[in-house]
Amino acid sequence: MGSANGLTNGRGGHPLFSFGVITDVQYADIPNGHSFLGVPRFYRHSMLVLQRAVKSWNNNKNLNFAIHFGDIVDGKCPKDQSLNAVKKVVDEFENFKGPVYHMIGNHCLYNLPRDKLLPLLKIPNLDGGRAYYEFSPAPGYRFVVLDGYDISAIGWPHDHPKTLEALKFLRERNPNSDKNSPNGLEGLDRRFLMFNGAVGEEQMEWLDSVLRDATNMKQKVVVCCHLSLDPGASSQEPLLWNYDEVMDVIHRYDCVKVCLAGHDHEGGHSIDSHGIHHRVLEAALECPPGTDA
């Protein structure tokens, strides 16, 4: 990023700090397969991609932390193997010689409920199952990790108020019996799918307070979420249900410089109307053998 966005020191363009990123590892000990669009997926190879990433991060010797943008294992992972599969991938991340931060994605929640998943991922602030938090890796900077499945039909108990709210939301916006089907939905309405989710009211208030505090402290902020927050950076289907409401909060302040996401495996980049960079990272899962994310 250029220094105009405040992410370099302005004296020759050297980074103020560096960190490792990877997303959508979606490991499973199963044969290779394809997405519903026919894109090849390499379930076992993704572990090798992660191992090489961690080795690269350690060889760098200059990284403040590493962060994974969700979907640590794949939904096709046999359910009797889910717990051990998550532990196996987390152990690989633990080989990084520095802090590692995780967020939840839809495939994580296909495998394990929140109460089992979040402790494995060492996600702080587990009050009531919440999976959003913040951290400061360097003076003057703050990272905000959103829970894009706060309001979701997956991950919460079937009778949980957030599950019921999500199912009602989908019924009102997606007429298909298969709520993961975008058939008949047009434009941005194609995001109203069950494998997505929304940021709830309590989290939205938390986000506003964090950004207000960061502004008062003159900090620059990077917002992280498994789901994309800008239509220009991804296709329509992987967007957060209420990305527009989240961006309305973010745009109240000048502190946010970058929004990072996973979920849309092809990746993408955009700059929104307020000059915020949106970068969607490519999936480790879809790297052919011998290649890296």
What pLDDT is recorded for position 5?
45
- Output the pLDDT for position 24: 98
Helix (H, G, I), strand (E, B) or coil at 66: strand
Beta strands 141-145; 220-225: pairing state: parallel
3-state helix, strand, coil in the chain (%, to 5): 35, 15, 50
Neighbours of 197 (CB within 10 A): 28
Helices marked H in 61-192 = 82-94, 106-111, 114-120, 161-173
Whole-number pLDDT of residue 12: 58
pLDDT at residue number 129: 86
Q: Could you tell me how far CA 75 lies from the centroid of its own chain?
A: 16
Rounded to an integer, what distance in angstroms lies between the CA atom of residue 262 and that of residue 129?
21
Angle at 149 between CA 146 and CA 155, to 5 degrees: 135
C-alpha 220/C-alpha 146 separation (Å) is 16
Distance CA 117, CA 36 (A): 26
β-bridge partners, 258: 222, 277
**SS3 state at 271:** strand
Confidence at residue 35, expressed as pLDDT on a 0 to 100 scale:
87
Closest CA to 15 of 55, 63, 53: 63
> pTM for the whole thing?
0.94
What CATH number is given for 19-286 in this structure? 3.60.21.10
User: In this predicted structure, what is the pLDDT of residue 124?
Assistant: 79
Give the C-alpha separation, 27 to 89, whole Å.
8
Q: Where exactly are the structural domains of the chain?
A: 19-286
What is the predicted pLDDT for the residue at 121?
96
* Cα dihedral 206, 23, 100, 152 sign: positive
Question: If 0-12 CB within 10 Å is exposed, 13-18 middle and 19+ buried, where does residue 159 land?
Answer: exposed
Digit-by-digit pLDDT tens for the chain (293 residues) are 333 444 555 555 778 899 999 999 999 999 999 988 889 999 999 999 999 999 999 999 899 999 999 999 999 999 999 999 999 999 999 999 999 999 999 999 999 999 899 999 999 766 778 999 999 999 999 999 999 999 999 999 999 999 999 999 999 999 999 999 999 999 999 999 999 999 999 999 999 999 999 999 999 999 999 999 999 999 999 999 999 999 999 999 999 999 999 999 999 999 999 999 999 999 999 999 989 98
Report DSSP state, residue 151.
Answer: B
DSSP type of residue 50: H
What does the alpha-carbon distance between residue 4 and residue 103 come to, in Å, rounded to a whole number? Answer: 29
